A and B are shown apart, each in its own frame.
Chain A
Amino acid sequence: MIYFDNSATTIHKPKKVARAMYNAINSKTLGNPSRGGHRAAQTALRELFKTREIIAHFFGATNPLQVGLTQNATAGLNAVLKGLLKKGDHVITSMYEHNSVLRPLYQILGLEISFIPIERITGSLAYDTVEQLIKKNTRAIVVTHASNVTGAITNLHFLHELCLRYGLILIIDAAQTAGLFPLNISEFQNTIVCFTGHKSLYGPQGTGGIIVQGDIQFIPLLSGGSGIHSFNKEHPHTLPDVFEAGTVNVPSFIGLRAGIEFIQKIGIENIRKKGEKLRLQFIHGLKKYPNTKIYGWNEHSNAPYVPIVAFNLQGIHSTELAFRLDDEFNIAMRSGAHCAPKTHQFFNTEQDSMLRASFSYFNTTKEVHKTLQAIELILKN
C-alpha cells in the first residue's frame, strides 16, 4: 500500500514504538500510576514522568509538570477551552480551524467567537485583520499551528506578540505540526499547546497532551480519580492532575516516548526537508494537468507548509478519484470534507470536497512518482 493519509494518522511507525509498548505490557511491572504507593504503581508513575520529560524537552518546556497527558489533541483542546472560557468571554480563532477547536467553542454557551479570515492570494491567514478583532472581553486567540487542509503554517510569533500586548492567552492546536515543524514554547508566554501523539510524533492512537507555559488556572473538565486528596469533593486544579482524571494509558505513552526519541534521532529539520521535497514533487506533478486546483498554495505563497497537498483535478470528483486510487492501485488518500467546515466554505468546496495527500518521513519519491502515474492512468480512462 502507498499511504498518503498521514495527516489523519501515521500507520508506518518506528519499530521501537511497538516494541516499547509490547515490553511495557509484558514487563508485568506497571501498576496504576499514582494509585497506591507500591513499587508497581511508582514504576508506572516514573515511566509517565519520563514521557513528560521528553515531551517537555521536545517542545522547549523547562518543567515536565507543565505537560498534561490526554488521549489526543481533541481531548486536550476540550479540556483547555472548556476549562478556561465561559459565557461573556470573547475568543478569536481562524477559518482554518478543525472541528476539534470549533465544536468545543460552539459548545460554550454565550461565548463570542470571531474568525481570522484566509487571504485568497497567498492562502495564509489575514494577519492584518487580527488586531481589529480584539475586544474588551477577548480572553484568547485559539489557532491551529498548520491547516489540516492546506498545510499552511501559522505565524505564531505575530499572534503571540498581539497576545502579549493585549493580555490574551495563546492556545495552539499543534496536531498537524508536532514532529514536523519546530515549536519551542519557551519563546512564548501565557501560551498553551495541545498536540496529538498518533500523527507525526509516531506514537500510538490514544495519546496526546497539553503543555502550559505561564500561570494559567483551569477548571477541570473531567473529574475522578487522581490518586491524591481522595476526600476532597473537587478534582485537583494543579498541573498536570487537572487534565488527568482516571487512569492514564501508560503503555501507549511509553510508545509515544519511543516515537519522539526516533524524531530526535533523525532530527526534525531532516524530517521537515523530506516532507517538503515530497510535497513539491507532488505539486509539480499535478500542475501539468490543466485547471488543477491546489488549495491554499500557489507561487505567491511564502509561508512554510507541512507536507500536505489538497487538490482537485478537472473532470473527476475527488471522491471518485480517491476511490479509484484505493481500489485499483492501493493508494490511500483522503477525500470528502476534512473536519474543517470553515475552510471548505472559504474554498467553496462544500459540495465538491477535495482530495488530500499528506506525507510522512517514511514515504518516498518513488511512491509519489507511482501515484502521479496512477492519476494519469485514471484520467486517461
Chain B
Amino acid sequence: MLSTPNQYVLITFNSSHQAIAAEQLLEQKNILSRLIPLPPEIDAGCGLVLRAPFKKKVIVCKTLENAHIDIQKIYMLEYTAKNKKNIHAITI
C-alpha cells in the first residue's frame, strides 16, 4: 500500500526523554518527524509520541534501533474523510 500525506507512523516510548532523543537523532539524519501528544486512541494519560511519514517507517525504526533507543510500540495513524483518525498497532 502506498502511503499518502495523511498516513503516519507513530512510535511510543517508555519515557519522554527517549522521545526527544529519537526526534534529535532523526533530525540529524534529515528524517522529518515531530513529537505530538499521546493520542487517546493509544492510551489515556500523558506523554509524547513520535510521528513520521508512514513511508519512512522502516528507516525510522532501524535508525532508532541502531541507536539503542527503545521503542515501546508502533502504530499507523491515518486521517480519513472529514479528518477522522484511524490508529492501529503494526509491526515492522
> A185 near B: Cβ within 8 Å?
no
B88 at the interface (CB under 8 A from A): no
Is the C-beta of B63 less than 8 angstroms from some C-beta in chain A?
A: no
- B48 neighbours in A (Cβ, 8 Å): 34, 37, 42, 45
Q: A213-233, CB under 8 A of B: which get 1 and which 0?
A: 000000000000001111100
Kindly state whether residue A49 has any CB partner on chain B within 8 Å. Answer: yes
Interface residues of A (CB under 8 A from B): 33-37, 42, 45-46, 48-49, 52, 63-65, 227-231, 236, 238-241
Chain A residues whose CB sits within 8 angstroms of the CB of B17 once the complex forms: 34, 45, 48-49, 52, 65, 240-241
* Complex Cα–Cα for A239 and B68 (A): 13
Note all chain B residues with C-beta closer than 8 A to A37. 35-38, 48
Q: Given A33-B16, A238-B14, list of 9 further CB < 8 A pairs?
A: A35-B46, A36-B37, A42-B35, A65-B21, A227-B16, A227-B47, A229-B45, A230-B46, A231-B44
Residues of B in contact (CB 8 Å), total: 18
Contacts of A48 in B (CB 8 A): 17, 20
| Chain B residues touching A, majority SS | mixed
Bound: A96/B44 CA distance, A = 50
27 examples of A-B residue contacts, CB within 8 angstroms: A34-B16, A35-B46, A36-B37, A36-B46, A37-B36, A37-B37, A42-B35, A45-B48, A46-B20, A46-B24, A48-B20, A49-B21, A63-B21, A65-B18, A227-B47, A228-B16, A228-B45, A228-B46, A229-B14, A229-B45, A229-B47, A230-B45, A231-B44, A238-B14, A238-B15, A240-B15, A241-B17
A-side interface mostly: loop
Chain B contacts for A42, CB-based, 8 A: 20, 35, 48
**Chain A residues, Cβ within 8 Å of B15:** 65, 228, 236, 238-241
